[in-house]
Amino acid sequence: MFDSSATASGDGIPDMPILAVLLTLMVFLAPNSLCAKEFRFDYQKILQTGREAELDLTYVSGNLEVISTDGDRVIIEAVKKVNAVSMDEAEMVADHIEIKVLHDKKKVKVVTNYLQMRNRSQSFWQKVLGVGGSDSFGEVDWRVQVPQGCRISICNTSGAVSISHIEGNVDIRSSSADIQLLSVEGDVNVEAAAGTTVGELLFGSVTVRQAQGRIDLKFVEGDIRIKAASADIEVHQDRGSIDLSTTTGDARVQTNLDSSRDYFFETETGNLSVTIPETSSGNIRIESQTGDIQTDMPIAIKSMNRRQLEGSFGSGGVKVSLISISGDVTIAQF
């Protein structure tokens, strides 16, 4: 039995004798954790939906790939991945990962449920070392083939999401995901707390609400709306308006200014850089409380002081507003 004077220091942190015993036990039990390996369990479902399908997929973690086909079916292929010390344990965990598919004509709803496992006898140290336990669960990787005109709704906690060559609206909600969108003809809506959102060849309106991470949109033909906190943002837009707001992240935007609607860019401490064609026209307003204001284009100035500039370029027209509190603001031409 340990002397009570040696169990903990005054600040509540165990002294060295206790730490040594804990480390010895962890080393002794480590081989059990090294015996754990990944087991995979395949799942497949083929559903006749017609070309105007709707897919609603909800899961916790794992990677997802959605691609289009020329057919009129939704093909769901999934792999349950479980880390366990034996096949028996892996099968037990996999059996408690329920893939539930509801199909009603063109609508397909997929929900992944993690059922509670009861009456499992696992030691405290196995749980500490990440092996087994009543709270064990695996993750599911997905590959889903859908008709080109399919409407897609995804909800997950984490994992990579890839959607390509879709002619329908896409809605993604995630806590933390790396999202990749390629060649989507439809409206896109992304809501994420963190992660990376990358889109290329997007034909439709794009809305991204993402607190942290990175947002990179290229070759967009549609209105863009971005609301972020500390995400770094880069946008290359061919057509449409822009409404962009961020707090600390930097924003770099190139747009053809091809819209009758106004353009609005706002940041607090991040730097803001906007590039437009030298043949474009519009009215401009630039504000920065403490940051620098730089222009690389001819502007007919209406009013100017140390913090604000207003004027027009070309023959005037659409309104372009660039506002920052302490970040630098730059407007240039290409």
SS3 251: strand
pLDDT at 22: 43
Question: Over its length of 334 residues, how does the chain's per-residue pLDDT go in tens digits?
Answer: 334 344 444 444 444 454 444 444 444 444 444 567 889 999 999 999 998 999 999 999 999 999 999 899 999 999 999 888 889 888 988 998 999 999 999 999 999 998 876 544 444 334 333 444 444 467 999 999 999 999 999 999 999 999 999 999 999 999 999 999 999 999 999 999 999 999 999 999 999 999 999 999 999 999 999 999 999 999 999 999 999 999 998 999 999 999 999 999 999 999 999 999 999 999 999 999 999 999 989 999 999 888 899 999 999 999 999 999 999 999 999 9
276 vs 149: CA distance, rounded Å: 33
User: What pLDDT, on a 0 to 100 scale, did the predictor assign at position 11?
Assistant: 47
> What's the pTM value of the predicted model, to 2 decimals?
0.82
Cβ neighbours around 37 below 10 Å, total: 12
How many Cβ atoms from other residues are within 10 Å of residue 58's Cβ? 16
Angle at 48 between CA 46 and CA 53, to 5 degrees: 105
> Position of tokens 């140290």?
125
Determine what percent of the chain falls in helix, strand and coil, rounding each to the nearest 5. 10, 55, 35
129-160: buried (b, 16+ CB within 10 Å) or exposed (e) per residue? Answer: bebbbeebbbbbbbbbbbbbbbbbbbbbebbb
Q: Give dist(CA 34, CA 334) in Å, integer.
A: 57
> Which residues lie closer than 8 Å to 95 by C-beta, 6 or more apart?
none
Predicted local distance difference test score (pLDDT) of residue 334: 93
253-288 CB burial, b ≥16 within 10 A, e <16 = bbbbbebeeebbbbbbbbbbbbbbeeebebbbbbbb
In sequence order, which residues have a C-beta less than 8 Å from that of residue 2 and are 6 or more positions away? Answer: 17, 18
Which residues make beta-bridge pairs with 210?
192, 228
- Give me the torsion for CA of 22, 25, 26, 30, rounded to 10°: 180
